[in-house]
């Protein structure tokens, strides 16, 4: 083993954090969010050290330096707020602080001779520092150096040496010639706030026509936007809007034989009208899409489209790029299959192709094409069936040009696969929330998610066109209300497969199935949006509460609270600036009224045990006056299975508040 | 972001473990110990994967390949035993196993046409594999390829395709052209068993003379070795044996004024007679040392010497290498100090020197010099006061030439410092055991140590010449016995500062001090080894028990067991091969008899709840017959505060064992 480059680099740095997989993946933040970096930093013996956080936009040559402060024994910390979207690097530098070591010793010296010698030594350190200084600091340091060795009384000189002024001056021109810099540098990817906080509404444009029997278009869908906007959703997500294949088209309820009038599944992409860059003829034109997007923007909604990298047998790729598809031994193109099941309406792309470079570039270009049409939000279909490295490259590539793009991963797969996709670059991910229903399950799962918060942003979906979970089938309206409240308050990001959700659609294709009967995936649906019992007003209220309460716009502070009833789930979120404390209770029992005592963490929320405070229930608007650390709640599923309390300090009122009190 | 080198490398590997600090430090093992490597390995969709552990001695160009097997969902594992002392690299390779994917699908295919086509596809895979094969495997594969497309009945061909024989043949010639190899490669450092398992005895040679008033020598110390060997110690560790400085020599009880006859502290190294490569004149010559070492070897004991990189003012370095020492402003050499305390008998080396390369090389050469004299075990004094990188370089450097060298770190410092030294290369470390005394403290500390077992090997010392802990001062003989039993059974490595320990020396310099009165560090001691109450027989028994019970030779399986008395600590260690189960109970109360019920983990130890078994108490030799999961023990501190039970299955004896039973 060779000698190190410079053995005088004696500060030792380890465990720089946050870090994902040793720095092989980036930490996630949204614009304006802080990143607090901690590191274990030590040096031998009694040597004092100084540390700095170094950060810079990725690609920049020079570091921005932030002094770190000791957090606890041998741990240092500093915080920065990355100033722009995109990737930023960060690391930690540390060096021996000879002046601090010297100062620490001086303060403890008692013998006159020792102090005299020490002041001579200190004067040298200060003069050296003056050599590194510019402007007035240089003069000030030289003056201090002279003062340390002047004829002034010893105690006066000692006080000058120990002064805060000299300490600050010296800290401003550290000798970093023997600094250690931690390797590797780490990375944080900064995305828009929407990557963290947003309410999504999935909408099939073809089901928006009036009269409803007809095939809807992007024009009729645009008229539906005001309905979505009125409910307060931030994102309208459209399943694929591209031409739909005819060969082996699936009929209603996923039947193998389609009737001539069956519209097919939007995920069977590609036909004579084009592929992933084209608009399905029956939906309209690219112009119609742009009009739809502009109408959404006018209403304050972003449009998300579906990225489903698979082809129908009629996709232009099949003839234009035959090398992108695997062949069966008889020369026919390999369709999707999971034997004995066959999906002959889908040709998967063959990522083992020797021409993978062309294929990857084309897929990236498809995304860039839609970015060019003003789309910045992409929901990616089944990303776990394409190579992991494709996503790392594609998302990094697209975001390096368009750091405002957001990618949601539909990774309904095993935990390590779901997590890997998040680490490789997806802004958000679908989660197992869809199947977590009991108090224990929800508590465990969200406790686990909290540990992953540096790299995994959950987007909670109570339902999707593919998943009508058992609890929605059996729980009726209370189940829908409870799941919406959970999704909207446990998750800063959540989404619903719309119309089906607010209209309480809950009939499965067959007993034991989690698929919808007469699924919208295979047919045009007619939704009666004014139907009795619709949850549209409830969802509007939930979304308004989310917008009005900063604490619900992040998952960082989610904390489960004790409540003495296993059917009641209780949790809180808190924001600092603006200060906002929200306490949620959800009745998980869709059949019975449930009551319980909440443990209110008075200390944590700076509430006095002896004073009253308000628990402002935001769904009903009722304001409760509570006192002390125990609060009683009753939730009736028939009425509303959720309470969202904003905890408000009561303006203290006493005789001293009376105007004429003296 | 550029395209990856080959996007067809679709297996994804993460979390290869064990790993220390992302691979920046090595995992530790001793020769013969297994290393089980696990990794998270995934690929997209339904692709099957294959994984291999790759390992090789560091420096070797080619890998040894060990197939990995799935351990649980998406986790693969394989085990290897590094074949030699020194450093070995390891990593994981993974690739898509096209044949396994194909085979999995074939097994599920039901339609005749599909099976026919699949067999054609399979034949191609098998023929390709034959191209990679050599010898008989090639012929066998070609025969299978032909069979898959022969005229034989379809089911027969399908069975051949699914046969274990073909599966094994295919697995023997995998297509690794698109394999992923995990980076960075990780490292394991393999040391001698003594790095894990050994009993140490610290001995001041100068206190071994007879009559005791004289200055002992290495010759008199050599005669003391049979006494040490009789107690069963593996290592005799000598404080520094180098010339002792005269300038500012410390007198008895660390007094500033030494009397002319005071021998000084062995740690004030260097005088007219030489420095770190010389032998103190009063101890003898290098020849005497070699004789001492050979006598130790004859008795089965290894000699450890002290590496204390510091100098007395009389050390030859001070004049020969003045640039290795810092100067005070008046030109004098900077002595050690911790203001207002001064240690004028010690000149620390100045690691900030511009000539650090010469200094480092010299320090390394000091160690190599003693290796040249047959010393392979080094106890390093205060390593935390020298640069961390020095140790990484020095230990790696010495061990690369002499992989049988062992370094014990006297890192009585903060946890992150102690841990860092272990990670940088020290084979073993002193620990906080010396100060952990209550049941909770011991349980917590050893639970923490268990988590560090891949890189931290504890060596437990109840006392040292610097530390006479409070509990030994007040607890009398029972405290010494309990602490010895704890050290010898909680730790595969332990040590005592000898004579003082077995002779129950327990007078502190003053109340509240943990220093010895009339410390051997500053004077020649006269020990009456035959003194009444000596623990020599007890220590001999403890060391014999350690040698006879494999489970006590490792800390890997240490498990605390429930016992319903807070003064009783109960734990077990188990070895597989040879099978050995040891259950230890120690009474931490030095004043009172204590009793309690132990929870015996019958299932874990394959004992039947209804049968009797033996608890063979190894200190007393008494054999108890126990039955069921609860066992009662009583420990009297006056008699013996520890029980070391070997749990032995009772040879089942029933009428069926009777010779003539039919």
**CATH number for the domain including B115?**
2.60.40.10
CB within 8 Å: B105 and A337: yes
pLDDT tens figures, A486-532: 999 999 999 999 999 999 999 999 999 999 999 999 999 999 999 99
The minimal CB distance from B42 to the residues A12, A40, A420 is found for A420
CB within 8 Å: A42 and B357: no
Residue A160 covered by a domain: yes
Q: Are B212 and B527 in contact (CB under 8 A)?
A: yes
B335 pLDDT higher than 90: yes
pLDDT band at A652 (very low <50, low <70, confident <90, very high): low
CB within 8 Å: A117 and B330: yes
The span from the CA of A307 to the CA of A324, in Å, is: 18
Q: Give, for A154, the enclosing helix (H) or strand (E).
A: helix A154-161
Catalytic residue among B295, B302, B314, B410: B410
Catalytic residue among A187, A288, A306, A381: A381
Residue A349 covered by a domain: no
Work out the angle between the directed axes of helices B470-490 and B439-451 (0-180°, nearest 10).
Answer: 40
Residue B617 covered by a domain: yes
Q: Are A510 and A500 in contact (CB under 8 A)?
A: no
pLDDT tens figures, B226-246: 999 999 999 999 999 999 999
CB within 8 Å: A10 and B44: no
pLDDT tens figures, A385-435: 999 999 999 999 999 999 999 999 999 999 999 999 999 999 999 999 999
The minimal CB distance from A351 to the residues B10, B328, B360 is found for B10
The minimal CB distance from B74 to the residues A44, A361, A416 is found for A416
CB interface of A with B, residues 226-255, below 8 Å:
none
Whether residue A270 sits in one domain with residue A182: no
3-state secondary structure at position A71: strand
pLDDT band at B115 (very low <50, low <70, confident <90, very high): very high
**Peptide bond preceding A211: is omega within 30 degrees of 0, i.e. cis?**
yes
The span from the CA of A193 to the CA of A637, in Å, is: 34
CATH number, domain containing residue A440: 3.20.20.80
Closest CA–CA distance from residue B184 to any residue of chain A (Å): 10
- Token pair listed for B457: 């090997």
Distances in Å between the Cα of B474 and the Cα atoms of B501, B514, B589 are 14, 12, 11
Among B2, B3, B186, B384, the strongest candidate for a mutation testing the A interface, having the largest count of A CBs within 10 A, is B3
The minimal CB distance from A7 to the residues B105, B110, B390 is found for B390
Closest CA–CA distance from residue A415 to any residue of chain B (Å): 9
Closest CA–CA distance from residue A433 to any residue of chain B (Å): 20
CATH number, domain containing residue A586: 2.60.40.1180
Whether residue A379 sits in one domain with residue A513: yes
What residues of A are in contact with residue B182 (Cβ under 8 Å)? none
pLDDT tens figures, A123-136: 999 999 999 999 99
Whether residue B488 sits in one domain with residue B466: yes
Catalytic residue among B175, B345, B381, B505: B381
Whether residue A16 sits in one domain with residue A76: yes
A653 pLDDT higher than 70: no
Q: Are B499 and B203 in contact (CB under 8 A)?
A: yes
Torsion of CA A280, A286, A292, A293, to 10 degrees: 120
Whether residue A387 sits in one domain with residue A283: yes
Mean pLDDT, rounded, for A353-374 = 98
Residues 6+ apart with CB under 8 A from A502: A231, A496, A534, A535, A536, A539
| Catalytic status, residue B555 | no
| Catalytic status, residue A381 | yes
CB within 8 Å: B1 and A340: no
- Token pair listed for A511: 């007993």
CB interface of A with B, residues 171-190, below 8 Å:
178
Q: With an 8 Å Cβ cutoff, is A9 touching chain B? A: yes
Whether residue B608 sits in one domain with residue B558: yes
Q: Where are the alpha helices (DSSP H) in B164-285?
A: 164-172, 218-230
Catalytic residue among A97, A179, A295, A410: A410
What residues of A are in contact with residue B381 (Cβ under 8 Å)? none
* Residue-by-residue DSSP string for B573-602: EEETTTTEEEEEEEE--SSS-EEEEEE--T
Residue A326 covered by a domain: no
pLDDT tens figures, A596-635: 999 999 999 999 888 899 999 999 999 999 999 999 999 9
Instruction: Tell the burial category of B595 from Cβ atoms under 10 Å away from its Cβ (0-12, 13-18, 19+).
Output: middle
CB within 8 Å: A42 and B414: yes
- Note down the domain range covering A71: 12-190
Q: What is the mean pLDDT of chain B?
A: 96
Whether residue B399 sits in one domain with residue B500: yes
Residues 6+ apart with CB under 8 A from B591: B478, B637
CB interface of B with A, residues 99-128, below 8 Å:
105-106, 108-111, 114, 117, 120-121, 124
Whether residue A654 sits in one domain with residue A540: no
pLDDT tens figures, B179-203: 999 999 999 999 999 999 999 999 9
* Residue-by-residue DSSP string for A35-58: EEEEEEEE-STT--EEEEEEEEET
Mean pLDDT, rounded, for A257-274 = 96
CB within 8 Å: B389 and A4: yes
What residue has token string 């100060």?
A: B435
Question: What was the pLDDT predicted at B493?
Answer: 98
Q: What are phi and psi of A337, to 5 degrees?
A: -160, 155
Asked which of B506, B527, B549 is the last residue of a domain, the reply is B549
Distances in Å between the Cα of A23 and the Cα atoms of A20, A86, A187, A423, B296 are 5, 17, 7, 11, 50
CB interface of A with B, residues 25-64, below 8 Å:
40, 42, 44-46
The span from the CA of A23 to the CA of A488, in Å, is: 32
Asked which of A190, A216, A241 is the last residue of a domain, the reply is A190
Distances in Å between the Cα of B383 and the Cα atoms of B280, B306, B309 are 23, 11, 8
Residue B480 covered by a domain: yes
Residue A327 covered by a domain: no
pLDDT tens figures, A332-355: 999 999 999 999 999 999 999 999
CB within 8 Å: A44 and B384: yes
Mean pLDDT, rounded, for B74-103 = 98
What residue has token string 């008075």?
A: A602
The minimal CB distance from B340 to the residues A3, A110, A356 is found for A110
**Peptide bond preceding A340: is omega within 30 degrees of 0, i.e. cis?**
yes
The C-alpha angle B592, B595, B598, rounded to 5 degrees, equals 145
Question: What was the pLDDT predicted at A258?
Answer: 94
Q: What is the mean pLDDT of chain A?
A: 96
The span from the CA of B203 to the CA of B227, in Å, is: 11
Q: How many domains does chain B have?
A: 3
Could you tell me how many CB contacts below 8 A there are between chain A and chain B? Answer: 158
pLDDT band at B423 (very low <50, low <70, confident <90, very high): very high
Whether residue B280 sits in one domain with residue B233: yes
Question: What was the pLDDT predicted at A610?
Answer: 85
What residues of A are in contact with residue B384 (Cβ under 8 Å)? 44-45
CB within 8 Å: B73 and A414: yes
pLDDT band at B662 (very low <50, low <70, confident <90, very high): low
pLDDT band at B53 (very low <50, low <70, confident <90, very high): very high
Asked which of A190, A215, A246 is the last residue of a domain, the reply is A190
Neighbouring-strand partners of residue A94? A51, A180
Residue B336 covered by a domain: no
Question: What was the pLDDT predicted at B237?
Answer: 98
Mean pLDDT, rounded, for B359-382 = 98
The minimal CB distance from B416 to the residues A74, A339, A357 is found for A74
**How many CA atoms lie within 13 Å of B206's alpha carbon, on the beta-carbon side?**
23
Whether residue B215 sits in one domain with residue B124: no
3-state secondary structure at position A650: coil
Whether residue B653 sits in one domain with residue B598: yes
Closest CA–CA distance from residue B596 to any residue of chain A (Å): 36
Q: With an 8 Å Cβ cutoff, is A337 touching chain B? A: yes
ipTM metric: 0.94
- Token pair listed for B394: 């020095």
pLDDT cut 90: percent of chain B above it: 96
Mean pLDDT, rounded, for A354-368 = 98
Residues 6+ apart with CB under 8 A from B392: A1, B424, B425
The span from the CA of A499 to the CA of A520, in Å, is: 10
CB interface of A with B, residues 381-410, below 8 Å:
384-390, 393, 396-397, 400
Q: Name the pairing type of β-strands B341-343 and B459-460.
A: unpaired
Whether residue B518 sits in one domain with residue B575: no
Q: Give, for B27, the enclosing helix (H) or strand (E).
A: strand B27-30
The minimal CB distance from A8 to the residues B42, B356, B416 is found for B356
Residue A322 covered by a domain: no
pLDDT band at A660 (very low <50, low <70, confident <90, very high): confident
Question: What was the pLDDT predicted at B31?
Answer: 98
Closest chain B CA to residue A351: B8
Closest chain A CA to residue B356: A7
Q: With an 8 Å Cβ cutoff, is A357 touching chain B? A: yes
B659 pLDDT higher than 80: no
Question: What was the pLDDT predicted at B653?
Answer: 65
Q: Give, for A311, the enclosing helix (H) or strand (E).
A: strand A310-311
Distances in Å between the Cα of B126 and the Cα atoms of A140, A353, B98, B134, B559 are 81, 20, 11, 14, 50
Q: Are B631 and B584 in contact (CB under 8 A)?
A: no
pLDDT cut 70: percent of chain A above it: 99
Among A111, A416, A418, the strongest candidate for a mutation testing the B interface, having the largest count of B CBs within 10 A, is A416
Closest chain B CA to residue A25: B14
């Amino acid at each position: 083993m060779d000698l190190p480059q410079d053995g005088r680099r004696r500060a030792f740095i380890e465990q720089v954090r946050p870090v994902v997989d040793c720095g092989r993946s980036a930490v996630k933040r949204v614009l304006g969010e802080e990143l607090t970096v901690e590191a274990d930093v030590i040096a031998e013996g009694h040597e004092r050290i100084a540390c700095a956080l170094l950060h810079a936009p990725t690609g920049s040559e020079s570091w921005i330096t932030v002094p770190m402060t000791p957090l606890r024994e041998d741990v240092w910390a500093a915080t920065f707020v990355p100033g722009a979207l995109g990737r930023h690097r960060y690391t930690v530098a540390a060096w021996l602080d000879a002046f601090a070591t010297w100062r620490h010793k001086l303060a403890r010296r008692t013998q006159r001779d020792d102090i005299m010698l020490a002041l001579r030594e200190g004067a040298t350190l200060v003069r050296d520092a003056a050599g590194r200084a510019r402007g007035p600091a240089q003069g000030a340091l030289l003056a201090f150096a002279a003062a340390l060795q002047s004829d002034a009384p010893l105690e006066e000189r000692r006080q000058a040496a120990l002064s805060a002024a000299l300490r600050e001056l010296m800290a401003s021109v550290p000798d970093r010639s023997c600094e250690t810099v931690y390797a590797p540098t780490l990375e944080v990817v900064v995305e828009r706030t929407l990557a963290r906080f947003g309410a999504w509404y999935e909408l099939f444009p073809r089901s928006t026509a009036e009269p409803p029997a007809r095939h809807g278009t992007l024009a009729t869908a645009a008229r539906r936007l005001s309905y979505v906007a009125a409910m307060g959703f931030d994102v309208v997500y459209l399943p694929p809007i591209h031409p739909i294949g005819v060969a082996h088209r699936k009929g209603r309820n996923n039947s193998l034989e389609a009737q001539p009038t069956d519209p097919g599944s939007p995920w069977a992409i590609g036909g004579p009208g084009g592929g992933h860059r084209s608009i399905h003829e029956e939906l309209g034109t690219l112009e119609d899409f742009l009009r739809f997007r502009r109408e959404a923007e006018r209403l304050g909604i972003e449009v998300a489209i579906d990225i489903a990298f698979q082809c129908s047998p009629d996709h232009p790729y099949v003839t234009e790029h035959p090398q992108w598809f695997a062949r069966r031994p008889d020369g026919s193109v390999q369709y999707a299959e999971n034997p004995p099941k066959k999906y002959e309406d889908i040709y998967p792309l063959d990522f083992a192709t020797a021409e993978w470079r062309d294929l990857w570039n084309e897929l990236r270009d498809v995304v860039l094409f839609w970015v060019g049409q003003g789309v910045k939000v992409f929901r990616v279909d089944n990303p776990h069936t394409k190579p992991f490295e494709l996503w790392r490259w594609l998302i990094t590539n697209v975001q390096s040009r368009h750091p405002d793009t957001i990618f949601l991963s539909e990774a309904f797969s095993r935990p390590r696969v779901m997590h890997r996709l998040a680490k490789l670059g997806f802004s958000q991910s679908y989660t197992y929330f869809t199947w977590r229903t009991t108090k224990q399950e929800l508590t465990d799962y969200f406790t686990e998610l909290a540990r992953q918060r540096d790299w995994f942003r959950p987007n909670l979906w109570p339902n999707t066109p593919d998943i009508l979970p058992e609890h929605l089938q059996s729980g009726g309206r209370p189940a829908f209300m409870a799941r919406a409240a959970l999704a909207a308050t446990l998750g800063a990001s959540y989404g619903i497969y719309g119309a089906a959700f607010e209209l309480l659609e809950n009939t499965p294709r067959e007993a034991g199935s989690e698929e919808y009967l007469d699924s919208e995936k295979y047919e045009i649906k007619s939704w009666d949006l004014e139907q009795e019992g619709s949850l549209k007003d409830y969802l509007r209220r939930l979304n308004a509460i989310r917008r009005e309460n900063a604490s619900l716009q992040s998952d960082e502070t989610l904390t489960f609270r004790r409540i003495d009833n296993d059917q009641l789930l209780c949790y809180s979120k808190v924001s600092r600036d603006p200060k906002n404390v929200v306490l949620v209770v959800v009745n998980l029992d869709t059949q019975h009224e449930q009551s319980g005592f909440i443990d209110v963490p008075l200390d944590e929320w700076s509430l006095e045990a002896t004073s009253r405070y308000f628990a402002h229930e935001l769904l009903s608007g009722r304001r409760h006056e509570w006192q002390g650390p125990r609060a009683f709640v009753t939730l009736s599923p028939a009425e509303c299975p959720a309470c969202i309390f904003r905890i408000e300090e009561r303006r203290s009122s006493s005789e001293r508040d009376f105007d004429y009190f003296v």
